[in-house]
Amino acid sequence: MKIVAFTKYSYEGPSSRYRFYNYKKCLEKNGIELDIKPLFKKEYFLSKNRLKKSLIALKSYLKRIKDIFVIAKIKKYDLVLIEYELFPYFPPIFEKMLHNKNIKYIVDYDDAIFHKYDMHKSFILRSLLKNKIPKVIKNATKVICCNNYLKNFAFKYNKNIEILHTVVLLDKYIEKQKKFIKQENSSFIIGWIGSKSTSIYILDIIKDLNKILSKYKDIKLHLVGFDKSLLKESKQIKIIKWDEKSEVDEILKFDIGIMPLRNEPWSKGKCGFKIIQYMSCKKPVVASPVGINCEIVENGKNGYLASSNEWFNILERLYLERDQNIKMGNQGFKKVLHDFNYNKNCEKYTLIIKELLCAQ
């Protein structure tokens, strides 16, 4: 069996890495050869020049068009996997072509990508592309989503849907935990991990964070992958550059992991991945009661769901009642083992693919 994945990014893109690249070995062990063809490669991420970046994007689009035509003509693959869409901000012409050529494809969503079109600030883009993702979904043989919000949207256009949560490679986390030793008398660390695009959510609770930092001088705030232009560092606030090799080590230093979100459509499409990372490191979590967060966080058991006016009180409680944190961290880890397990995902993904191919 040979399949191809058209991902949005190369390995450097988190969504592509966790939803596709991390399953390559797993699928190959089960007799499924996976080729991955990213749209945007590493050079796209590294480029700072707008013109150069635009030229790279154009080159990437042309390369993908060529790949699709070759696949449609030769049919060298048994199945096509698509991350979101084949071409961002372009009509679903090529997805339709695959469908017309009887080439089966699975489309995968770990974000509410459809809201980039149906809620776009430009009236022209909204008018032209608001129905794009529904058409991509309609022509898919199968749709894979990471949560019920995305599933409910997709179900309006396609009944063949599976939920596959975004998960970590847990063995790596367990190995790191074995080697980690928290220093005695070290600061109590409230931690967050994310990217430039999600940094804005920290600003929504910054008053509560500043309040607790002011009240308790031995508390520090660690922000991994945070946009430095949004906040200044201080004795208690540390902004840490994200690095794949050290991200687990940084989370292990946390005493609490936080995931603030806004109660808006885009946030409801999130997969709660930060929470999964924290729980995989046995950390209690505090998260906004939005979307899948409400399914992952069992209030008072493995963490807390904090409404906009509750952040300070909950963070203070976790700081003052630290004995409960270990119990909560262990409960979170059990949740990951049971419901957000890579090995279970691997089995499910393999079964989905094999069932589709056997149905040919």
In order, the DSSP letters of 290-331 are -TTHHHH--BTTTEEE--TTTHHHHHHHHHH-THHHHHHHHH
> Is it true that domain 2-167+341-358 has CATH number 3.40.220.10?
no
2-167+341-358 and 170-339 in the same fold: yes
Which residues touch 218 (CB under 8 Å, ≥6 apart)? 187, 188
> Residue 185 above 80 pLDDT?
no
Distances (CA, A) of 16 to 82, 141, 178, 200, 208: 10, 20, 28, 23, 34
pLDDT, residue 75, reads: 84
Report the percent of the chain where pLDDT is more than 70. Answer: 99
CATH superfamily of 170-339: Glycogen Phosphorylase B; (3.40.50.2000)
Report the percent of the chain where pLDDT is more than 90. Answer: 90
66-80 pLDDT, tens digit per residue, is 999 999 888 889 999
> Residue 360 above 80 pLDDT?
no
> Residue 326 above 90 pLDDT?
yes
Give the CA radius of gyration of the chain. 21
Distance CA 240, CA 253 (A): 12
Residue spans per domain, the chain? 2-167+341-358, 170-339
335-354 pLDDT, tens digit per residue, is 999 999 999 999 999 999 99
205-254 pLDDT, tens digit per residue, is 999 999 999 999 999 999 999 999 999 999 999 999 999 999 999 999 99
Nearest 10 degrees: CA dihedral of 30, 34, 40, 44?
80
pLDDT, residue 188, reads: 96
Q: List the structure tokens of 116.
A: 């980039």
pLDDT, residue 99, reads: 95
Bigger pLDDT: 189 vs 360: 189
Mean model confidence pLDDT for the chain: 95
When pLDDT is averaged across residues 254-281 and rounded to a whole number, the result is 96
Distances (CA, A) of 70 to 57, 73, 281, 305: 20, 5, 44, 49
Question: Can you tell me whether residue 272 is helix, strand or coil?
Answer: coil
> Residue 296 above 80 pLDDT?
yes
The residue assigned the tokens 């499910």 is 348
Strand-pair partners of 109: 145
Q: List the structure tokens of 21.
A: 């690249």
pLDDT, residue 186, reads: 82
The residue assigned the tokens 């966080």 is 297
